[in-house]
Each structure stands twice: as structure tokens, then as C-alpha cells.
Amino acid sequence: MNQNGSANRQERDLEMSSTLLLQEDLKKDDEITINGGHGARKSMRTTLVDGACIGMNIFSTVILVFLNNWILKDPQLKKMQITFAMWHFTCTTIILYLASRSPFRLFTPIRLPFFQMIPLCTFFAGFLILGNLSLAYNSIGFYQLAKILTTPCVALLQYLFLAKSITMPTILALCSLCIGVALTNSGAAGVTTMGASIAVAAFTVTAFYQVWIGKKIRDFNVSSPQLLLNQAPISVLLLAVLVPFFDTMPKVEKIPRDTMIALFLSGLAAAALNLSQFLIIGRMSALTFNVASNVKTTIILTYGWVSEGRLLTAQDLLGIVMALGGATAYSQLASK
């Protein structure tokens, strides 16, 4: 009896243990399912936010290019390049300041040495002013294609001044990009010597700025938005000194109302563009940003040529494919 009772108790204990283990396994399965569901929802939410950032960047860039092109057709505003740049810097400063504060807190603001920021701010102002001048004196198509040449210019400057080696695949990608731009621009209408000179100066100064900003981010050990929040207001102060000597103040009453609205919207678009750039690079990668840039280039070129009434030839299409293909290949090689 004792042996039978002991055996029965062992069987009951074994059954209870099995039941408890089964219940624990089921509980774990439920937790995995729940956590998996939370993970899936989180992944979906992240994907949606990333997509929204890319969408905002593409939309703001395209809108900004066409708004600026429209604004600079006004003969009075065309003579206010420095004031125009100041307006964009001011909007960028306000947006970044708000982004660094509650409830957004997208980054932590840091105060950097004022005088060490002066050279960088000079490049920053130069690239924006020359970019606007290039848009004012060139067609949208030529402006956008010339802007692509910033990429090989950056690679050359890094090779010359930072001793950064360039591999053969990178050289081939850059050659494809340059040949593509040359093929497409050969048929561009209305390109003047002055317009082409401004475009070359614009992408050269932009390349210097990009190389310099990368160096300063490393030197100061800060993020892009932290650096830009220091750059933008200082750039406004620097440009304010130049306005009386270079800009011609307009008669506001003679500026069409729709142009004034476009001017206001261009400031918001510039701020949205700058903020979305930081979000894309911070949340994803610089490669993702470069791929998005190529999408923007295609949209701007297509719309620009359609608005100009230009018919695309086989040479134009080959040039676009080579330029964008070279830019994409360079971005992939540079990210490795």
C-alpha cells in the first residue's frame, strides 16, 4: 500500500509538473505573440515615419526649386539675393530651435565658439546665394544637372586636401555621372556664359562647404542639426552687414501678392528641407538620403523640361540614366 500510494503520489506530482510546464509554455507563447505584435506595430510605425521623412524631403525640395524659380523671375526680388538667403536662414533657425525644444526635442542644442564658426558660415552663405543665382540665370533643367556635379567635385577635394583615396569603381561611377550631365546639357536651351559660370561656381562652393562641414562635425563632435543651429543665425548676421552694399530694396507695393505668398512659402519649404535631411540621415543613412536625392533630381528634371516645352531625345535619356546611375553607384561605394 505504501509503495502503491507513493507511486500514485509520484504520478500525480508528475502530472501536475507537466501541467505547470505546459501552462508556462503557453504563457510564453502568448507573451511571444504579444511582443511580436508590439514589435510588428513598432516596425510598421518606424517604416511609416521613415517614409514620411523621405516624402517630406522630396516634396519640400521640389516645391522649393519651383517656388524660388518663380520668385526670382520678379525683377525686384532678383536684385535681393542676400536678403533672400537671410530669409531662408531665419526660417531654418526658427524651425530648428522649435525642433530642439519641448515637446519635440529632436536634438539637444549646443553653443559652439562664435569665431570658429565664421569660415563655415561664409561657405554656407556662399553656397546658398550662388545656388539661388544659378537658378535665377539658368533653366531649371540646367540648374539641376549642374548641381549633380557637386558629387565628383567633393570626391576631388577630398582626394586633394584630405588624402582620401579613390578606387577605380568610384572613378568609373563619377565618369558616368559627368558624361551623363555633359550629354544631357549639350542640347540645353538658353544657357549663357554667365549662367554656366555661376553654375560652376555654385557647385564648387557647395562642394567646399560639404567637405568643410564634415570636417567641422568631426572637430566639434556634434550632429548636423546642432551645427546648423549655430550656423544659421550667425549667417544671418554676416549677411545683414552686406545687404546695404549689394541688395536693392524693392517697392513692396509693386510686388504681386502671389509672389509674396510664394516668398513666405519658400522659407517654410527651406526649413522643412533642412529638417528632413537631418531626420533621414539620423534615422536611416546617408545612402538613403542620396537615393532620395536622385528621385528628386528625376522629378525636377522631368517637370522642368516639360514646363520649358523641351522634347527629350535619346541622347537626353541616355544622359539622365548615366548621370543618375553614376550618382547612385557612387553613393553605394561611398557608404562601404
pLDDT at 90: 93
Q: Hey, what's the cell of 50? A: 521613415
pLDDT at 188: 54
| Percent of the chain scoring above 70 in pLDDT | 75
What sign results for the dihedral spanned by CA atoms 134, 135, 140, 144? positive
| Residue scoring higher pLDDT (15 or 54) | 54
Q: Which of 21-30, 261-270, 293-302, 311-320 has the highest mean pLDDT?
A: 261-270
CB 77 within 8 A of CB 250: yes
| Residues 221-255: tens digit of each pLDDT | 888 788 889 988 998 998 898 888 888 888 888 88
Q: How far is CA 68 from the centre of its chain?
A: 17
CB 145 within 8 A of CB 322: no
CB 269 within 8 A of CB 223: no
Distance CA 34, CA 25 (A): 14
Question: Taking each helix axis from N to C terminus, what angle separates 224-246 and 193-220, rounded to the nearest 10 degrees?
Answer: 140
Residue 316 reports pLDDT greater than 60: yes
pLDDT at 282: 58
pLDDT at 291: 57
CB 99 within 8 A of CB 106: yes
Going by C-beta distance under 8 Å and a sequence separation of 6 or more, which residues neighbour residue 58?
Answer: 292, 295, 296, 299
- Determine, yes or no, domain membership for 327: no
- Determine, yes or no, domain membership for 111: yes
Residue 73 reports pLDDT greater than 80: yes
Distance CA 306, CA 33 (A): 52
Q: What are the b/e assignments for 206-223, b being 16+ CB within 10 Å?
A: bbbbbbbbeebeeebebb
**Minimum mean pLDDT among 3-17, 87-101, 159-173, 229-243: which range?**
3-17
**Minimum mean pLDDT among 17-21, 214-218, 250-254, 285-289: which range?**
17-21
Q: Hey, what's the cell of 334? A: 561611398
Q: pTM (2 decimals)?
A: 0.66
Q: Hey, what's the cell of 184? A: 544631357
Distance CA 196, CA 164 (A): 29
Q: Hey, what's the cell of 39? A: 514589435
pLDDT averaged over every residue in the chain: 77
Distance CA 132, CA 129 (A): 5
| Residues 121-146: tens digit of each pLDDT | 888 788 888 888 888 888 777 777 77
Q: What is the pLDDT averaged over residues 143-167?
A: 79
Q: Domain of 116?
A: 55-164+192-286
Question: Taking each helix axis from N to C terminus, what angle separates 257-283 and 2-71, rounded to the nearest 10 degrees?
Answer: 150
CB 132 within 8 A of CB 72: yes
- Determine, yes or no, domain membership for 131: yes
Q: How far is CA 89 from the centre of its chain?
A: 16
- Determine, yes or no, domain membership for 33: no
The structural domain count of the chain equals 1
| Residues 295-305: tens digit of each pLDDT | 676 677 676 66
pLDDT at 219: 86
Q: Hey, what's the cell of 151? A: 558629387
